[in-house]
Amino acid sequence: MLELLADYARKNKLPGPGFKAKAVRWAIVCDAKGRFSEVVELGDAGQPRNKGRVFPQCPDLSAAEMNAGGVAKSHFLVDAAEVVALYGDNATDDKIKNKHDYFISRLHDAGKVMPVLEKLARLLESDVQMKKLRLRLESSRVKGSEKVTFQIGGVFPVESEDWHGWWQQYRASLASDAGREMVCLISGRVAPAVLTQPSIDGLRDVGGSMGPVLVGFDKDAFGSYGLKQSENAAVSEGSAYQYRAALNELIANHSRRLAGAKVVHWFKTKVKAEEDPLAWLEEPPEAEERRAQNLARELLESIASGKRPGLPDNHYYALTLSGAGGRVMVRDWMEGPFPELVANIEAWFEDLSVVHREGGRLAPDPKFMAVLGATVRELDDLPPPFVATMWRVAVRSEQIPQTALAQAFARTKVDIIKDEPFNHARMGLMKAYFVRRARAVKKEEDMKPYLNEEHPSPAYHCGRLMAVLAKLQQAALGDVGAGVVQRYYAAASSTPALVLGRLVRGGQFHLNKLDPGLAHWYEEKLGSISVRLGDGVPQTLTLEEQSLFALGYYQQWVDLRTKKSDVSKKEA
């Protein structure tokens, strides 16, 4: 995994040791002589959540370098407004003042190789210029914690390479964070192992602290054989910064938050955005003719026919992450051939496909989080381990856990009894459970998107019978408030033998209230289901059988709704 991340960083030319991509919201604009002119908002100006402009090669010090020598250090060229300009509520704090002085000192030093930086240092030492700057920061409502950089004469010094050589020499002068020479676990080369590996950004919303680490050994109990800190998982500085840069870039630009975790994915060779199967999983196309499973099928056919020669050898990589204080938790790691991924995503949507509650067509392909949300009342109730498991189920085409079936069924039963609209994702998830269970034992699956009158399960036909009886009562009596479903569904779905017989006998009185033609139509429906049941109405139903009962009820209910026009003609 780390080797693949390092390879991603090399291919995409991501920043190495001493550098880091940083989002900067504000620029202190100066003229060519270094005189303050204006404060300008970068990025999506005016937006409350504007993160600013990303500069890909900002100077950056590691935690060990920042603490070297016991001196309060700042970063170079890019830092918080309170540090750069002694601005904000913390401006009088001694630590901030020391960082401000350090910031100016580095500008003086770097000015020897890039003279324009000397002008910026003098700007920050001018009381008159600084007063103007602070007033402008305040009028622009800049927060002291927000990052700022400089623009002088129309150029951003942070984008220049003139200071890079000086910067690397300066970093080398700081206390070394290197341990003994060891074989790097990523590159395979002998090099000094970094004692403290760099932190990862972008996980604070999934449990991470300010800067969690993926690899860290901060307790003696974590070490072995006398190895010191991260010598226990030896990685060179170059390799450590490569995997850090890759993870930061993927989290920032190619991640999705799934409950308490984030999923990042990439490919060995880049694919077009419209051909990314995992993007369909997260956000299926809305148009009926561009269903995700249709797109997957078309892509598979083009791969098989040789129209897409680069894709058969491509691979996907997917990583599920969350934070736990100062540590990064890797919840799952998946990789495999690209065609296999496409086939798995096609199977996911095919297995979930179910008839629309209005009938006549399939329900839209559900978003991944809609499927997971079908098992709980609120998305916040989803536990991260369950999310990670279901992500693997979708991507690897694994069996759906029975816990997911139980939760989806429980929510479905509540919906039915309360006469709430059917949730397509819930019905699809229950259907997919049985489809995948049958596939695992290489058995032909009888669970179809639409009504299957030949289904072998008595539980399924018990659910069908319940739907016909409910429709019959409605046809005979109209809206009676708490009808047969509200009063008897819970009992019928768990102990059908004790309930359905009594309901069928009561249905005879309803038939007598109907027009003969319509009564005959209902008698045929009841008779065909009774033939499928025979004498085999179960005494009790297991969880799986109760779920089949619910699916039979739903599909029969939709089928009756679809044929409402035929029934209406008979009623007339």
Tokens of 85: 């300009």
Residue 303: the pLDDT is 87
Residue 565: the pLDDT is 47
DSSP percent split of the chain into helix, strand, coil, nearest 5: 50, 15, 35
Exposure b/e, 264-277, CB count within 10 A at least 16 = b? bbbbbeebeeebbb
Instruction: For residues 390 and 532, state if they share a domain.
Output: no
Answer yes or no: are the C-beta atoms of 506 and 465 closer than 8 Å: no
Decide which of 139, 172, 205 is a domain's last residue.
172
68 has a pLDDT exceeding 80:
no
In a domain, 193, yes or no: yes
Distance CA 421, CA 321 (A): 35
Distance CA 554, CA 349 (A): 19
- At 289, is the pLDDT very low, low, confident or very high (cuts 50, 70, 90)? low
Decide which of 253, 288, 313 is a domain's last residue.
253
- Which of these, 418, 456, 405, 453, lies nearest to 556 by C-alpha position? 453
Exposure b/e, 342-379, CB count within 10 A at least 16 = b? bbbbbbbbbbbbbbbeebeebbbbbbbbbbbbbbbeee
Instruction: For residues 332 and 354, state if they share a domain.
Output: yes
- At 186, is the pLDDT very low, low, confident or very high (cuts 50, 70, 90)? very high
Distance CA 531, CA 479 (A): 30
Q: Rounded mean pLDDT of the chain?
A: 89
Determine which of 218-222, 262-266, 300-304 has the lowest per-residue pLDDT on average: 218-222
Our count of domains for the chain comes to: 4
Give how far Cα 329 sits from Cα of 7, 229, 318, 340, 355, Å: 21, 19, 14, 27, 39
Instruction: For residues 89 and 236, state if they share a domain.
Output: no
Residue owning tokens 């932190």 = 199
Q: What is the 3-state secondary structure (H, E, C) of 341-359?
A: HHHHHHHHHHHHCCECCCC
Give how far Cα 97 sits from Cα of 20, 61, 106, 230, 419, Å: 25, 19, 14, 33, 66
Alpha-carbon dihedral sign for residues 556, 562, 563, 567? positive
Distance CA 32, CA 151 (A): 10
Instruction: For residues 411 and 309, state if they share a domain.
Output: yes
In a domain, 343, yes or no: yes
Give how far Cα 376 sits from Cα of 113, 205, 320, 349, 408, Å: 61, 21, 21, 20, 8
Instruction: For residues 152 and 244, state if they share a domain.
Output: no
Taking each helix axis as running N to C, give the angle between helix 338-352 and helix 292-304, from 0 to 180 degrees, rounded to the nearest 10: 150
52 has a pLDDT exceeding 50:
yes
Residue 70: the pLDDT is 77
Give the other-Cβ count within 10 Å of 297's Cβ. 16
Run of H or E including 84: helix 81-85
Distance CA 228, CA 193 (A): 10
Domain that holds residue 95: 21-172
Residue 181 C-alpha from the chain's centroid: 39
Instruction: For residues 282 and 431, state if they share a domain.
Output: yes
Decide which of 203, 223, 253 is a domain's last residue.
253
Answer yes or no: are the C-beta atoms of 84 and 106 closer than 8 Å: no
Instruction: For residues 229 and 131, state if they share a domain.
Output: no
Give the other-Cβ count within 10 Å of 182's Cβ. 16
Instruction: For residues 288 and 434, state if they share a domain.
Output: yes
89 has a pLDDT exceeding 50:
yes
DSSP assignment, residue 213?
Answer: E
Tokens of 442: 């290489």
Q: Which residues pair with 178 in a beta bridge?
A: 194
- Give the strand pairing for 147-152 and 26-30: parallel
Q: What are 400-415's pLDDT values in tens digits?
A: 999 999 999 999 999 9
Instruction: For residues 34 and 159, state if they share a domain.
Output: yes
Residue 572: the pLDDT is 46
- Which of these, 264, 288, 284, lies nearest to 274 by C-alpha position? 284
In a domain, 165, yes or no: yes
Please give the single-letter amino acid code of residue 119: K
- At 34, is the pLDDT very low, low, confident or very high (cuts 50, 70, 90)? very high
In a domain, 112, yes or no: yes
Residue 148: the pLDDT is 97
- Give the strand pairing for 315-337 and 208-213: parallel
Average pLDDT over residues 206-222: 82
570 has a pLDDT exceeding 60:
no
- At 223, is the pLDDT very low, low, confident or very high (cuts 50, 70, 90)? confident
In a domain, 209, yes or no: yes
Residue 339: exposure state from Cβ atoms within 10 A (0-12, 13-18, ≥19): middle
Q: Which residues pair with 40 in a beta bridge?
A: 27
Distance CA 317, CA 299 (A): 19
Instruction: For residues 421 and 474, state if they share a domain.
Output: no
Residue 132: the pLDDT is 95
Instruction: For residues 475 and 508, state if they share a domain.
Output: yes
Distance CA 292, CA 287 (A): 10
Instruction: For residues 476 and 529, state if they share a domain.
Output: yes
In a domain, 242, yes or no: yes
Question: Does the pTM of the predicted model rise above 0.85?
Answer: no
DSSP assignment, residue 290?
Answer: G
Q: What is the DSSP secondary-structure string of 245-278?
A: HHHHHHHHHSEEEETTEEEEEEESS---GGG-HH
Answer yes or no: are the C-beta atoms of 342 and 296 closer than 8 Å: yes
In a domain, 243, yes or no: yes
DSSP assignment, residue 199?
Answer: B
Alpha-carbon dihedral sign for residues 40, 43, 46, 49? negative
Residue owning tokens 């100077």 = 59
Please give the single-letter amino acid code of residue 556: Q
Tokens of 503: 């309901």
Q: What are 524-556's pLDDT values in tens digits?
A: 888 889 888 887 789 999 999 999 999 999 999
Q: What are 307-362's pLDDT values in tens digits?
A: 888 889 999 999 999 888 888 989 899 999 999 999 999 999 999 999 999 988 99
- Which of these, 175, 177, 186, lies nearest to 228 by C-alpha position? 177
In a domain, 143, yes or no: yes
493 has a pLDDT exceeding 70:
yes
